[in-house]
Amino acid sequence: MPSIYYESFGCQMNAYDTEVISSLLGSEGFGRADSPEEADIIIVNTCSVREKAEQRAIGRLNDLSRYSGAILAVCGCMAQRMGEKLFESVPGLDVVAGTDTYFELAGSIRDALEKKQRTSMTAVDGKITYSLIDGRSPGGVTRYLSITRGCENYCSYCIVPYVRGRVRSKEPETIVREASEMVSAGAREITLLGQNVMAYRYGDLDFPRLIRRMIDETEVRRLRFLTTHPRDLDMEIFQLMATEDRLCPHLHLPFQSGSDRILSLMRRGYTRDNYMSAINEARNILPELAVTTDVIVGFPTESNEDFLQTLSMVEQCRFEAAFTFKYSPRHGTSAALSEDDVPAEAKKERLSRLNETVQRIRLEILERQLGTDSEILLDDTVKKGEYRFGKGRTNHFRNVLVPETEREPGDIFRVRLEKLRKFTFIGKEI
Ligand code: 5AD
Ligand code: SF4
CATH of the domain at 117: 3.40.50.12160
In a domain, 134, yes or no: no
Residues 106 and 148 in one domain: no
- Residue 137 in any domain: the answer is no
Spatial contact of 45 and 18, defined as CB atoms under 8 Å apart: yes
Cα–Cα dist 78/42, whole Å: 16
Same domain flag for 197 and 239: yes
For residues 250 and 324, membership in a common domain is answered with yes
Pick the more confident residue, 276 or 387. Answer: 276
387: domain CATH number?
2.40.50.140
Residue 139 scores a pLDDT above 90: no
Find the ligand nearest to 227 CA: 1
Q: State the distance from the centre of ligand 1 to the C-alpha of 430, rounded, in angstroms.
A: 41
Q: Cα–Cα distances in Å, from 409 out to 66, 144, 322, 378, 387? A: 38, 17, 27, 5, 16
CA distance linking residue 270 with residue 268, whole number of Å = 6
Instruction: Examine the domain organization and report whether 289 and 178 are in the same domain.
Output: yes
Q: Is 383 within the bounds of a domain?
A: yes
Q: What is the mean pLDDT of the chain?
A: 96
Q: How many domains does the chain have?
A: 3
Do residues 110 and 149 both lie within one domain?
no
Ligand nearest to the CA of 325: 1
Q: Is the model's pLDDT at 18 over the cut of 90?
A: yes
Q: Which one of 367, 393, 417 terminates a domain?
A: 367
- Look at residue 384 in the predicted model and tell me its pLDDT: 81
Q: Which amino acid is at 62?
A: N
379 falls within a domain: yes
Decide if 135 is inside a domain: no
Residues 147 and 250 in one domain: yes
Q: Judge whether 131 lies within some domain.
A: no
Q: Count CA atoms within 13 Å of residue 233 on its CB side.
A: 22
Q: What is the CA(77)–ligand 2 centre distance, in A?
A: 6
Q: Is 362 in the pocket of ligand 1 (CB under 6 A)?
A: no
Task: Kindly report the pTM of this predicted structure.
Answer: 0.96
**One domain, residues 189 and 175:** yes
**In terms of DSSP bridges, do strands 71-76 and 119-121 run parallel, antiparallel, or are they unpaired?**
unpaired
Interhelix angle 172-184/207-217, rounded to 10 degrees, is 40
121, 150, 169 - which closes a domain: 121
Q: What is the pLDDT of residue 385?
A: 81
Distance between CA atoms of residues 380 and 107, nearest Å: 37
What's the gap in Å between 366 CA and the centre of ligand 1? 26
- Predicted pLDDT of residue 383: 86
Residue 342 domain boundaries: 142-367
In this structure, the answer to whether residues 378 and 354 fall within a common structural domain is: no
Give the per-residue pLDDT at 67: 85
* Whether 308 and 418 share a structural domain: no
pLDDT at residue 137 is higher than 90: no
Are residue 147 and residue 289 in the same domain, yes or no? yes
User: 22 alpha carbon to ligand 2 midpoint, in Å?
Assistant: 18
pLDDT at 220 over 90: yes
Q: What is the pLDDT of residue 386?
A: 79
Of 11, 12, 13, 49, the residue with max ligand 1 atoms within 8 A of its CB, to mutate for a pocket test, comes to: 49
**Residues near ligand 2 with C-beta < 6 Å?**
10-11, 13-14, 47-49, 76-77, 159-160, 163-164
Secondary structure (H, E, C), 101-164: CHHHHHHHHHHHHHHCCCEEECCCCCCCCCCCCCCCCCCCCEEEEECEECCCCCCCCCCHHHHH
Q: Taking residues 212-230, report their average pLDDT.
A: 97
Note the pLDDT tens digit of each residue in 50-70. 999 999 999 999 999 988 899
Say if residue 312 is in the same domain as residue 345.
yes
Q: Is residue 219 part of a domain?
A: yes
Domain boundary among 367, 384, 403: 367
Residue 128 maps to a domain: no
Look up the CATH number of the domain holding residue 191.
3.80.30.20
Q: Is 294 in the pocket of ligand 1 (CB under 6 A)?
A: yes
pLDDT in tens, 100-135: 999 999 999 999 999 999 999 999 988 999 999 887
In ligand 2, the atom with minimum distance to the C-alpha of 9 is: 6
Choice from 11, 14, 158 to test ligand 1 binding pocket (greatest atom count within 8 A of CB):
158
User: What region does 298 belong to: left with phi over 0, alpha with psi -120 to 50, or beta?
Assistant: left
- For the chain, the distance separating the N- and C-terminal CA atoms, rounded to the nearest angstrom, is 49
Return the number of other C-beta atoms located less than 10 Å from residue 18's C-beta: 21
Residue 58 shares a structural domain with residue 167: no
Helix/strand/coil (H/E/C) assignment for every residue in 12-64: HHHHHHHHHHHHHHHHCCCEECCCHHHCCEEEEEECCCCHHHHHHHHHHHHHH
When pLDDT is averaged across residues 189-193 and rounded to a whole number, the result is 98
